[in-house]
Chains A and B, each alone.
Chain A
Amino acid sequence: GENVEQHPSTLSVQEGDSAVIKCTYSDSASNYFPWYKQELGKRPQLIIDIRSNVGEKKDQRIAVTLNKTAKHFSLHITETQPEDSAVYFCAASGAGNDMRFGAGTRLTVKP
């Protein structure tokens, strides 16, 4: 089955700097790659997603890139703000319709 690895597990940046979180997946048939943000005590919420027929997608300060050959995808947050502090999860949807999540990255943005 699909296996998703996420790095780093923790990330601390200064406000205004950029943050990058990377994920790799194992199933070459995976075709949907969402990113979820989970604030403390809250439920996960989608922030951006990308499909396998697209290499990059951007939404304001957030972008995701996908390299199908290398089987990895990354989340880029520019001009970070304290409210970006949260746990971020990548995920991949496999050919079997299941969804595998990475272990999460705790991002701290220091003012």
Chain B
Amino acid sequence: EAQVTQNPRYLITVTGKKLTVTCSQNMNHEYMSWYRQDPGLGLRQIYYSMNVEVTDKGDVPEGYKVSRKEKRNFPLILESPSPNQTSLYFCASSPSPIEEQYFGPGTRLTVT
């Protein structure tokens, strides 16, 4: 089954404790993105990747890191999480930036 998976689905952590949210797709897509969703602000792109080893900042990259060592995986890293990073995070993939994006199920992160 073609899908985008994210783990964990729910995470409660404390300020400053490094964490990684994994994202994996099995559709051989070139383009992958991370978004955060906050009430009233829609979906804001954090980082995107056009291909392996190619990543670019989106609209709100501060406080986040990503890597694209393999085509199928695109982990999101929070080196020192802060409460303002409490949000719902979605990973997405598509063949290119101008084609349908397939979203993962979301990761609800709470930073206390």
Interface residues of A (CB under 8 A from B): 1, 6, 9, 31-32, 34, 43-46, 49, 51, 89, 91, 93, 96-104
Smallest Cβ-Cβ distance to B40: which chain A residue? A103
Smallest Cβ-Cβ distance to A30: which chain B residue? B98
From the candidates B50, B98, B100, B105, name the one contacting A46 in the complex (CB within 8 A): B100
CA distance A34 to B104 in the complex (A): 17
A–B pairs, 21, beta carbons within 8 Å: A6-B42, A9-B40, A32-B99, A43-B90, A43-B105, A44-B43, A44-B90, A45-B103, A46-B100, A49-B100, A89-B42, A91-B43, A97-B31, A97-B50, A97-B56, A98-B58, A98-B59, A99-B45, A99-B97, A100-B45, A103-B40
Please classify the interface of chain A as helix (H, G, I), strand (E, B), loop, or mixed, using the class held by over half of its residues. Answer: strand
Do A98 and B98 contact each other (CB < 8 Å), given the known contacts A1-B59, A43-B106?
no
CA distance A91 to B43 in the complex (A): 9
Count CB-based A-B contacts (< 8 Å).
57
Residue numbers in B under 8 Å from A46 (CB-CB): 100-101
Contact yes or no, A101 B42, CB < 8 A:
yes
Contact yes or no, B98 A32, CB < 8 A:
yes
Minimal beta-carbon separation of A70 from chain B (angstroms) = 21
Smallest Cβ-Cβ distance to A94: which chain B residue? B97
Residue numbers in B under 8 Å from A93 (CB-CB): 97-98
From the candidates B42, B97, B99, name the one contacting A103 in the complex (CB within 8 A): B42
Contact yes or no, A97 B42, CB < 8 A:
no
Residue numbers in B under 8 Å from A97 (CB-CB): 31, 48, 50, 56, 97
Contact yes or no, B104 A98, CB < 8 A:
no
CA distance A54 to B52 in the complex (A): 32
Residue numbers in A under 8 Å from B93 (CB-CB): none
The yes or no answer to B33 lying at the interface (CB within 8 A) is yes
The yes or no answer to B41 lying at the interface (CB within 8 A) is yes
| Interface bits B38-56 vs A (CB < 8 Å: 1, else 0) | 0011111100101000001
